[in-house]
Structure formats: C-alpha cells, structure tokens
Amino acid sequence: MLEQLINWFPEWARPFIMPMITIGIVLQVNLGVCSYLILLERKLSAWMQDRIGPNRVGPWGLLQPVADMLKLLLKEDVIPGHVNKFLYVLAPGISVFTTMLAFAVVPFGPVPRNLSATDGQFPYIIAPGVDLGLVFIFAVTSLAVYGIILGGWASNNKYSALGAMRASAQVVSYEIPLGMSVVGLALLTGSMSIEKILLHQADAGIFGWNIWFQPLACVIFFAAAMAEAQRLPFDLSECEQELVGGWHTEYSAMKWGLFFLGEYTHVITISFLTSILFFGGWHFPWIAEPDSQYLGSTLVKVLVLLTKSFAFIIVIQMLRWTIPRFRFDQLMGLAWKVLIPLATLNVVCVMIVKQFHLNEWWLLPMSAGLFLGAGLIGTQSSRPFARRTLEPVPEAHGHHAHAH
C-alpha cells in the first residue's frame, strides 16, 4: 500500500515520501508523549511525596497536559525590553530543533535490513543507514546547550547568565565521558551506526546485550547523558533555589514551553539510546528475536523497545526526586576526576580484549574491577581542600594584612 502511494509521486520526489511520513509520525508522537511525560513526572513526584498530584482536569488529571498547552499558547508572550531580541527568540528554537534532530538517527522499531527509500517498507527511523549515528547524536545534542547559553546570555540578567555559564561548564565536562563511554561499544561492534549496534546485540541473543560487557560504560553514559539533558541531579543551570529560574528566568509562555519540550525530548532520546546501546533495543528473548516472523511481531518489537525506554524514563524521573542536586565543584570533580578516567580505562580494556582476541566476557570482571578500584581510590584519597589547619592564624599586622 505504501509502495503504491510512493509510486503515485513523480520519480524525483519518491525518496522523500517515507522520510516525510516518518518525520510526521515521530514529531506528533513526540509532542504528545512529551506533554504526557510532564503529567507523569508531576504524578510520580506527587506519589513519592505522599501527595495526589494534578487531578482536577479530566479523570485522574488526564487532560492536564491539554490545559497546560492551552495556557502556554494563550499566555501573553513577554519579551522584556532589556534583552537581545534576536538571540532571545532564537534560543528556544535551537533547543527544540537540536534535540528533535538528534532523534533522526535513533531507531524506534525493527529497522528492516536492506532498506531502500522507495520500496515502501516502513523504516522505523527517520534517517536510515547513517554510519556515524553515534557521532551525529553527540554532535547535535551538544549543540542543544547553545539554546541554553544563548537564552541565558540574551536575557541580560545575572541569574540567567549564571545558569548559562554553568550549563557551558557542565557541557564541557560531560561531553567527554559521554563520548568516551560509547567508544567501547563502537569497538566491540565494529560500527558507529546505531542500527548496527542494535542488530549486533539482537543477533547475539540476551547474553550478547552490551550491558554484560560494558556495565561501567552504561553507568557513565547514563550519568553523563542526564547531565547533558540538564536533568536533576545535574540541573545546575536551572537550579531554582539559587538562580530564580536559571537560564529561563526571563522566558514566558510558549518560548518557555519550547525549552521544556526540548528537555523532555532529550530525556526521551537518552532513554531510547540507553535501551538501544546497552539493553538490546527491540530484542527480547523468545518474543522479539531477529528471526521471529509471527503475525504482529513487528508491533511486539516496537512495544519491547518502547517499554524499555519507558522504564528508563521512569528511572530518570525517579532519580530526579531521589538524589539532591550536586554542588558545582562536586559535579566538575565527578566528571573530570572520576568519569573521564574511568571511561578512558574502560576503552583501554576493550582495546586489550580486541587486540589479544580474549573472550569478550573478560570485560565484565574488568568493568567491575575498574568500578571497585574507583571506589577504593575514593576512600583512600584525602580531601585536602576540606581539611583546615588547626594552627592558630598569625596575628594580623594592620587591617586586611592576611587574606584568609
């Protein structure tokens, strides 16, 4: 049926039809899911805090996202007089555009092998066959922070500027462990394409999932990705207790809404990536194997992937209300002193295994060893910046003679 639809178009337009349909579906689903993720987050936080949460609009508050959306659309869109208008308007757009763009190479179902743009098969990915998928994602999502930096800078407000500064420092620290953590996967698979990494795991069965070989990389990836999406415990750029609203202090109405659309799309992307890169994507033993051909198997595969991603979204949202926000020096210390060395050593381990043709299962004890080693170093290392000398301070000669 889809093939007939494609053939109805002129020759030159045919390669664009399937991507357009896919983009339309992904965009609409994404917008709907984002608004309901906000409701879910509010409900989940309420349940954790022994509250009930939004329950006034519709049954169980199910129409709350609609009401929120209407409110955001109908609210007065204030542009303060002291802002740089061009950058101020541009920033939310960048935020949404980049996070949506990153989703282009994320498969959301079983991508058919031997896919061509005109054969009418539904691709389950907007841009199939991007061999540098991982690099593309990290390149594009790190651009998302430009939305924050530009928004904070254009607001011409010290709180926004501080939030933007924090976001830039944070992204500098977290890009590196984020990128390093998946280098091991690329080495193991022999490809940077996300579809190929997924198929590699699916072909190997449940004990071929990358979580068995790269558990440490999974933890590093998850932590760094949360930091990149500005989610708690790493949302220092927003940090409403210190910075009013952080980078979006001056934003209102739908521009503010777009920032949050971007943030939640980022969360969805992270969850999809974690389940695809480390947990086998749509693969699940017995019900969703690569060769399962029963009726509706494709739907089951999509559902398996969605369930896995949904589980990670729940974990991210639960972490938000579980862990307090990191202090800024703790955040930078964690990234530079812990995550980057661990991710680098993890890559070295993969290289050793590949170079000497060892069994891949050696990677599991190696990861555990690295993790325990990091814990041991953390225990043993003194923290000289926290210790104060007990010697009496020498008497001051004149006022402000010593700068303690």
The CA distance from 202 to 290, in Å, is: 6
> Is 50 a residue that touches other proteins (CB under 8 A)?
yes
Q: Which phi and psi (to 5°) does residue 357 adopt?
A: 50, 45
Residues in 372-391 at the binding interface with other proteins, rule: CB under 8 A: 372, 374-376, 378-379, 383, 386-388, 390
Helical H runs in 75-126? 85-102
Residues in 293-322 at the binding interface with other proteins, rule: CB under 8 A: 315, 318-319, 321-322
The CA distance from 153 to 164, in Å, is: 7
Residues in 150-189 at the binding interface with other proteins, rule: CB under 8 A: none
- Residue 239 contacts residue 325 (beta carbons within 8 Å): yes
User: Which residue of 392, 397, 401, 403 would you call a contact of other proteins, by CB under 8 A?
Assistant: 392
Report residue 341 as tokens. Answer: 């060395």
CB of 93 to other proteins, least distance (A): 35
Cβ nearer to other proteins, comparing 291 with 391: 391
> Is 336 a residue that touches other proteins (CB under 8 A)?
no
CB of 245 to other proteins, least distance (A): 25
The region of 49-57, 158-166, 185-193, 249-257 touching other proteins under the rule CB under 8 A is 49-57
Report residue 343 as tokens. Answer: 């991710």
Number of residues that bind other proteins (CB under 8 A): 29
Place of tokens 């004149």: 398
Report residue 340 as tokens. Answer: 């980057």
- Residue 182 contacts residue 217 (beta carbons within 8 Å): yes
CB of 288 to other proteins, least distance (A): 27
- Residue 394 contacts residue 402 (beta carbons within 8 Å): yes
> Is 49 a residue that touches other proteins (CB under 8 A)?
yes
User: Which residue of 38, 44, 220, 258 would you call a contact of other proteins, by CB under 8 A?
Assistant: 44
Q: Where does residue 53 fall: left (phi above 0), alpha (psi -120 to 50 degrees), or beta otherwise?
A: left
> Is 52 a residue that touches other proteins (CB under 8 A)?
yes
* Residues making contact with other proteins (CB under 8 A): 44, 46-52, 219, 315, 318-319, 321-323, 371-372, 374-376, 378-379, 383, 386-388, 390, 392-393
